[in-house]
Amino acid sequence: MNVPDQIGSYRIQRILGSGGSATVYAALQTRPRRTVAIKMLRGAASDAVSIRRFQREIEILGRLRHPWVGQVYEAGVHQDGDRQIPYYVMEYVPGAKPITEYCESAGLDLRDRIKLFVKVCAAVQHGHHRRIVHRDLKPGNILIDDRGEPKIIDFGIARAPDAETLDDAEVTEPGRFTGTIQYMAPERLGSEEQDADARGDVYALGAVLHRLLTGRLPHDLSGLTLFTAAKRVREREPERPSAVNPALRGDLETILLKALARAPEDRYRSAGSLGRDLLRWLAHKPINARRAGHWHRLRLLVRRHRTESIAALLVLMIIGAAATALLIQNAMLRGLATPGIAPSTDRLAGVEPGATNGGADGDAGAADPDPDRVVRPPDSRRPGRDPSRDGDPERGENVVIAVPGQPVALIEADHGSGARVILALADGAAEVHDARNRRAIARIPAGATGVIGAGFVNDGAGVAVIDAGGAIRITGRAAEAADLQIAGAGNAFAAVVAPPVPAGALAPDGSGDAGIDTPTWIAVSHGDLTIRMHRPGVAGARIIRSTQGAFTRLASDAAGAQLAAWAPGSRALVVFDAASGQERGVARLPDADGPVLAIGFVPEGTAVLTAHPDMVVRRPLDGAPPTRRALDPGSATFAAVDPVLGRVVCIAGSIVHVIDVRGLEMLARAIERPESDPPTSAASVSALQAVAIVGSRGTVVLLPAPRVHSPS
């Protein structure tokens, strides 16, 4: 095999692997200096269908931003003689080993293997949240790096309903299975493959976990022909894990068998649901895969609080021993008592012999009037301190908010006087948290698809949540039921809710009339190349038809007067008038700027900002030349624009950049954050002058940031 010396601006070092259609190389990038991996189609596989499939893989990978998913840096075309061969540059995984090989070489025990696998579930759920189905999950595509962190790779046959560039006949050739049969769900092995959904990935994860915990696959397919093996998977139940490893008997086996159920409707609905049940097992809590009886719940409670249970048992034993000794003593006294020798113990207690005590002791055996009452233990992190004051960004302290629902993204931070953040959870629901006292104040129940946008409406009194189907749920109270629901139009790419500013703040002079409607509006971009502008309480929606391609990012200015939209296909940044829907300007971004991580307005609304992996660019709306601010070191993975305070937050590895958008001045670098909790998204919390970071292990960290005063 001929190995090229150079691909694009990358110097090739060695071959990392080669498959039927592509080869992966290790290469050196000079700026920034780092090792990368390059996946390039093989010359023999560079037919039209293979190229289109390869381009679709690039498109899907470009949507995924998660620390446990291999990241794509850029894509290009390599000139090989008279042929143009596509390639893309992605994250290099040092010391990479398949998950099964890593667990064996590291000697991980049962619990450590499950802890690692929960991270894998979180990474796959990141795709499911964006309606991306991997379809080829197996140990070889779940790599573990030299730090023990997972990386999901190879989305070559993945499907995303809103990113199709091939029809079904091109994706799956008739009579041919796409994937690895040992990890393929039964519904994919019939004569006509069913539409792929997240439950197919759940089955593959179950097969990987079965192999991790037993050393064997759920079905023994050795020596069988392809179609005989497919028939066996479709018609037979998988092997019971406890038959191989008795330690799996009980809840863990129940979880595995639910993930491996033959019927898709009997499985977990997503990787996040599987991961959450594994977390419950690790925490000795009842799992969702089966109804737990009272004795089983009690047994789990004892295991969960082993030290407290032992202490309580010792106390009960001491009390029981003391009570027994007292009863024996009383019995002996009653047996020895005769007139003139010893007084009755009842008289000593002030009670006539044989009488019953009708006072408080008479109710000692009564049932607790509130048996379900929950008494929460005090905060053990700082004994004696009010937990609501434990950490304050305004005093230069970090605040850590634990969120049981596994947040996957921080959608919105309150721009008003409050300090509220809206979190998108892995189960498709959304929660509103008060960042000052670290408590959840509202929950919007899960929809059919994951949350892609949220914001505050009605001057901050309500919350709007938009899912990937374009449906909008609006609630004004901390309740399960939504106040208003707007049916979606399907295939939603992005959504934004205009800031809930008071009417008087809309005019520059504070007069209260800026010539636009005061109710908050909600914009949703769809796969049919439209943007739908909704207003709470107003039937119907204004339709904006795109001439630039599908918009994948939307942003509102601080006054709700303008809408910015980004179309990656044409690299067009379009600004619309929010009231009329008319285009106010279109800018073509140069390829050299790289992918767009975030867009947003400056506080005055006179310029649009774009955040890229290596820079932040301010683009004036009056046609003046753009100004750029390099990020050093670069390679930012997450970014957010605060249109009220006027700052951009970018996360690049262990560094959090905070940039003043007016002069693109770097305000802060290397703000401390927990290294053990890689971020999945970030936002600015104006009310607290803080940066909020959602961690991949289910925490929200508020980091103090330099004070920035928006212009008056």
Three-class DSSP labels, 221-233? CCCCCHHHHHHHH
Alpha helices, DSSP H only, in 395-485? Answer: none
| Among 274, 301, 328, residue at a domain's last position | 301
550 versus 24: the higher-pLDDT residue is 24
**The last residue of a domain, from among 301, 327, 351:** 301
Nearest to 45, CA basis, from 85, 88, 4, 98: 85
Select from 656, 662, 661, 655 the least CA-distant residue to 690. 656
Q: What is the pLDDT of residue 44?
A: 58
- Give pLDDT, residue 480: 42
Q: How far apart are CA 598 and CA 522, in angstroms?
A: 18
Amino acid code (one letter) for 445:
P
Q: Using an 8 Å Cβ cutoff, are 524 and 492 in contact? A: yes
Of the candidate ranges 186-190, 318-322, 340-344, 537-541, the one whose mean pLDDT is the lowest: 340-344
CATH code of the domain covering residue 133: 1.10.510.10
Task: Identify which of 73, 55, 52, 51 has the alpha carbon closest to the alpha carbon of residue 64.
Answer: 73
Query: Which residues have a Cβ under 8 Å from the Cβ of 221 and sit 6 or more positions away?
Result: 181, 182, 229, 232, 233
Note down the domain range covering 408: 393-442+597-712
Residue with the bigger pLDDT between 263 and 483: it is 263
Judge whether 536 and 462 are in contact, CB under 8 Å.
yes
| Distance between CA atoms of residues 585 and 601, nearest Å | 14
Residue 389 has pLDDT above 50, yes or no: no
Q: In three state form, how does the secondary structure of 404-468 look?
A: CCCEEEEEEECCCCCCEEEEEECCCCEEEEECCCCEEEEEECCCCCCEEEEEEECCCCEEEEEEC
Q: Flag whether pLDDT at 283 surpasses 50.
A: yes
Cα 104 from chain centroid (whole Å): 28
- Which are the catalytic amino acids? 136
Quick check: is 416 in a domain?
Answer: yes
- 503/583 same-domain check: yes
Q: Are 88 and 62 in contact, with CB atoms under 8 Å apart?
A: no
The end-to-end CA distance of the chain, in Å, is 65
Cis check for the bond before 633: say yes or no (omega within 30 of 0): yes
pLDDT in tens, 628-655: 888 765 577 778 888 877 788 888 766 7
Q: Any idea which of 2-6, 94-98, 311-315, 613-617 has the lowest mean pLDDT?
A: 311-315
The dihedral region occupied by 250, where left means phi > 0, alpha psi between -120 and 50, and beta the remainder, is: left
Give a yes or no: residue 379 inside a domain: no
Please say whether the beta carbons of 627 and 618 come within 8 A. Answer: yes
Q: Is the pLDDT of residue 140 over 60?
A: yes
**Beta bridge mates, 87:** 40, 76
Kindly indicate the confidence band of residue 678, based on its pLDDT and cuts at 50, 70 and 90.
low
> Sheet harboring 10-18: ordered strands across?
6-7, 10-18, 22-29, 34-41, 83-91, 72-80
Backbone angles phi, psi at 393, to 5 degrees: -60, -30
| CA-angle at 374, arms to 371 and 375, nearest 5° | 120
Judge if 215 and 262 occupy the same domain. yes
Give the count of beta carbons closer than 10 Å to the beta carbon of residue 237.
11
Does residue 161 lie within any of the structural domains? yes
By the 8 A CB rule, do 398 and 672 touch? yes
Q: Are residues 466 and 552 in the same domain?
A: yes
Query: Nearest Cα to 135, choosing from 73, 74, 191, 56?
Result: 56
Q: Of 7-11, 171-175, 373-377, 595-599, where does mean pLDDT reach its minimum?
A: 373-377
DSSP character at residue 247: G
Rounded to 10 degrees, the C-alpha dihedral 396/398/399/405 comes to 150
Band of the pLDDT at 353, cuts 50, 70, 90? very low
Task: State the Cα–Cα distance between residues 579 and 563, nearest whole angstrom.
Answer: 10
pLDDT higher than 50, residue 577: yes
Q: Which residues pair with 144 in a beta bridge?
A: 97, 150
**Same domain flag for 17 and 122:** no
pLDDT value of position 298: 56
**Percentage above 70 pLDDT, the chain:** 67
Among candidate residues 596, 505, 492, the one with its CA nearest the CA of residue 534: 492
Looking at the predicted structure, is the pLDDT value of residue 708 above 70?
Answer: no
Together in a domain, 399 and 458 = no
Where on the phi/psi map is residue 515: left (φ > 0), alpha (ψ -120 to 50), or beta?
A: left
Say if residue 36 is in the same domain as residue 116: no
Average pLDDT value for the chain? 75
In a domain, 360, yes or no: no
- Identify the weakest region by mean pLDDT among 195-209, 210-224, 535-549, 655-669: 655-669
151 in any annotated domain: yes
Residue 392 has pLDDT above 70, yes or no: no
Between these two residues, 525 and 505, which has the higher pLDDT value? 525
Shared domain check, 523 and 505: yes
Q: Sorting pLDDT into bands at 50, 70 and 90, what band is 575?
A: very high
Same domain assignment for residues 580 and 518: yes
Band of residue 203 on the pLDDT scale cut at 50, 70, 90 = very high
Considering the domain architecture, whether residues 269 and 404 belong to the same structural domain is answered as no
- Whether 650 is covered by a domain: the verdict is yes
CA–centroid distance for 132 within its chain: 14
> Looking at the chain, how many residues does it have?
712
Kindly tell me if the per-residue pLDDT of 711 is higher than 70. no
Is residue 577 helix, strand or coil? strand
Where is the domain boundary, 39, 58, 91?
91
Does residue 660 lie within any of the structural domains? Answer: yes
Q: How far apart are CA 541 and CA 280, in angstroms?
A: 43
Domain shared by 656 and 707, yes or no: yes
- 102: phi then psi, degrees, rounded to nearest 5: -65, -45
Higher model confidence: residue 305 or residue 143? Answer: 143
The CA distance from 116 to 152, in Å, is 13
Edge-first strand order for the sheet with 638-642 is 638-642, 647-652, 655-660, 665-668
Query: Does the structure show a pLDDT above 60 at 377?
Result: no
Q: Which helix (H) or strand (E) holds 115?
A: helix 110-129
Task: Identify the CATH number of the domain in which residue 30 sits.
Answer: 3.30.200.20
Q: Are 73 and 90 in contact (CB under 8 A)?
A: yes
CATH number at residue 485: 2.130.10.10
* 548 lies in the same domain as 578: yes
Higher-scoring residue by pLDDT: 147, 663 = 147
DSSP string of 269-306?
A: SSHHHHHHHHHHHHTT---TTSPPPHHHHHHHHHHHTH
Contact 209, 100 (CB under 8 A): no
In 3-state terms, what secondary structure has residue 515? coil
Instruction: Give residues with Cβ within 8 angstroms of 697, minimum separation 6.
Output: 676, 677
Confidence of residue 205 (pLDDT cuts 50, 70, 90): very high
How much is the pLDDT for 291? 59
Q: Is residue 31 part of a domain?
A: yes
Work out the pLDDT band at 344, boundaries 50, 70, 90: very low
CA dist list (Å): 443 to 402, 403, 432, 479, 674: 15, 12, 6, 7, 27
Least confident range from 2-6, 128-132, 296-300, 374-378: namely 374-378
Longest Cα–Cα distance of the chain, Å, equals 123
- Say if residue 261 is in the same domain as residue 140: yes
Q: Cα–Cα distance between 676 and 308 in angstroms, integer? A: 29
> What is the spatial order of strands in the sheet that 572-577 belongs to?
553-556, 562-567, 572-577, 583-588
Please answer whether residues 85 and 40 qualify as being in contact, where contact means their C-beta atoms are separated by less than 8 angstroms: yes
Q: For 582-601, what is the mean pLDDT?
A: 88
Tell me the range of 259-273, 494-508, 672-686 where mean pLDDT is highest. Answer: 259-273
* Total domains, the chain: 4
Residue carrying structure tokens 């040992």: 182
Spatial distance between the Cα atoms of 415 and 418, rounded to a whole number of angstroms = 8
Q: What is the predicted pLDDT for the residue at 378?
A: 30
CB 656 within 8 A of CB 667: no
Strands of 97-98's sheet, edge to edge? 97-98, 142-144, 150-152
pLDDT confidence tier of residue 490, bands split at 50, 70 and 90:
confident
Percent of the chain with pLDDT over 90: 22
- What does the pLDDT read at residue 121? 92
Average pLDDT of the residues in 107-117:
93
690 near 704, Cβ under 8 Å?
yes
